Chain A
């Protein structure tokens, strides 16, 4: 098995109602539970909005950001086990935020050759 990273962009609007948020949370939990049961889920973390952007020689320039649009903002990531790209993509079908305009970037994690 290879490792893949799911990077989540966008998702529920911050103006969603409490009931919608709770329903969305239920779907995420069910998804993680399913991936865990199939021994696919390795780890995952949600990310707070905001952040810092560090650029320039020796990281001299530190600014607030990235201020991207809500739909591009990275909201969190998973690490999962999958055979190949096709297999990894097949695991994304239960992602709950498609209906809220969210997208997933699927990336293979480079294995250190020994």
Chain B
């Protein structure tokens, strides 16, 4: 037992949350995804027991092992009581039917590499194409990241009710589509992997781009997305270059997390950020994963976005950035992903790679961003740099009308005042 002073410091941040995700995955593999509710209940019970016991008696030497023992015993009780192994988990029914192999089978599922495998399978199940995107993310956060409905609702600035419905709809799909913890084979693997990565990127961006007032919640979302993406890159079957590229991209972005707001909580744009405060270890990781993503050769949107992010990370200042390469990468990205947001980023890069007049022409040609505040803010910014202050003010004001985020509003108001 770890008792006495510092016993709280001995327990890692988010231990309960992370172990909850691991145990739900392991139990879902044992009991089948159709018994996800039972898996949830067993985990909840085990955590409650840990909370009550550890509060009084101190933290055991190996907290995860303690939790797994409780969860395993409850799972075995459930299996003995139900006696419908064939329905519960066809894969293990033969082994679970005999008392002789029952506990060793359950034990094996709680070994570290088995848990990782289960988590990966759970990720693929949560991102099943039958489940709507918003439900995929909610279910992932609930089952794999151990977030409660209220915590998810808080992170997405929505109501508990909305998240409850999303999770309910996902669970209904698990039933009606008989989704199990399988990693699909061959071509289906790639398309499902793309869904998993997309969902992780959305999750990351929710943390990174959102103007959520609570910095901690945003960091949590980024951290969870990176943790899960790391699992994808660690498994032989799913470690495609695009997964490593996405992790690289997340590392580069996350390296700037601390520098995007000033002491008063105002947004600091890339060009004004203090680059000395970017996290060097994360930038290094970003480069490592970018290298790892180079082979076997494939061009994914993540490879291109990570390459763009790496050029920003490598540059000592905004002015010295290799804008020509960035513009070229955006052109390639636009080939793969011809959407107006990419077009906007490409146009902004052209302001520094070619000239500002070119950027304005490119920006004004874009269709589909008429309701997007960043579009008008970008045009305003170029006008401002060209010293057309009246024009700049007009576009900043347009952007101001379109954003509901307090932080964005503050930034735009200060820009308008500078015009």
Residues of A within 8 A of B (CB): 12, 14-22, 24-26, 28-30, 32-33, 44-46, 48, 75-76
Contact = CB atoms under 8 A, between A and B. Distances in A.
Given A28-B56, A29-B58, A44-B56, A21 B48 contact: yes
Nearest to B147: A17
B223 to A, nearest CB: 13
Given A29-B55, A46-B52, A22 B148 contact: no
A12 B56 CA distance: 15
B51 A24 contact: yes
Most-contacted residue by chain B among A14, A29, A45 (CB, 10 A): A29
B151 interface: yes
Interface string B145-165: 011101100000000000000
A83 B254 CA distance: 54
Where chain B touches its partner, the secondary structure class is helix
A80 to B, nearest CB: 13
B185 interface: no
A65 to B, nearest CB: 19
B96 interface: no
Contacts of B54: 25, 29
Nearest to B4: A33
Interface of B: 4-5, 7-8, 11, 14-17, 19-20, 44, 47-59, 146-148, 150-151
A60 B51 CA distance: 35
Contacts of A29: 7-8, 54-55, 58-59
A interface secondary structure, majority: helix
Contact of B7 (A14, A33, A46, A75): A33
A21 B15 CA distance: 10
Nearest to B5: A33
Contacts of A46: 52-53, 55-57
Given A29-B8, A46-B53, A76-B56, A14 B48 contact: yes
Contacts of B48: 14, 21
Contact of B151 (A17, A21, A26, A75): A17
B16 A22 contact: yes
Given A22-B17, A75-B52, A17 B58 contact: no
Contacts of B56: 28, 32, 44-46, 76
A14 to B, nearest CB: 6
Contacts of A14: 44, 48
A19 B51 contact: no
B17 A18 contact: yes
Contacts of A33: 4-5, 7
Given A29-B7, A30-B8, A19 B146 contact: yes
A24 B47 CA distance: 12
A58 B314 CA distance: 82
B151 A19 contact: yes
Contact of A21 (B7, B51, B59): B51
Given A21-B51, A29-B59, A45-B56, 10 more contacts: A14-B44, A16-B148, A18-B17, A19-B151, A20-B148, A21-B50, A22-B15, A24-B51, A29-B55, A33-B4
B410 to A, nearest CB: 30
A30 to B, nearest CB: 7
28 contacts: A12-B51, A14-B48, A15-B44, A15-B148, A16-B148, A17-B17, A17-B148, A18-B16, A18-B17, A18-B19, A19-B14, A19-B16, A19-B17, A19-B147, A19-B151, A21-B47, A21-B48, A22-B11, A22-B15, A22-B16, A24-B51, A25-B50, A25-B55, A26-B8, A29-B58, A30-B8, A32-B55, A75-B52
Nearest to B12: A22
Given A18-B16, A19-B151, A46-B56, A25 B51 contact: yes
B359 to A, nearest CB: 45
Contacts of B59: 29
Contacts of A76: 52, 56
A32 B52 CA distance: 13
B42 to A, nearest CB: 13
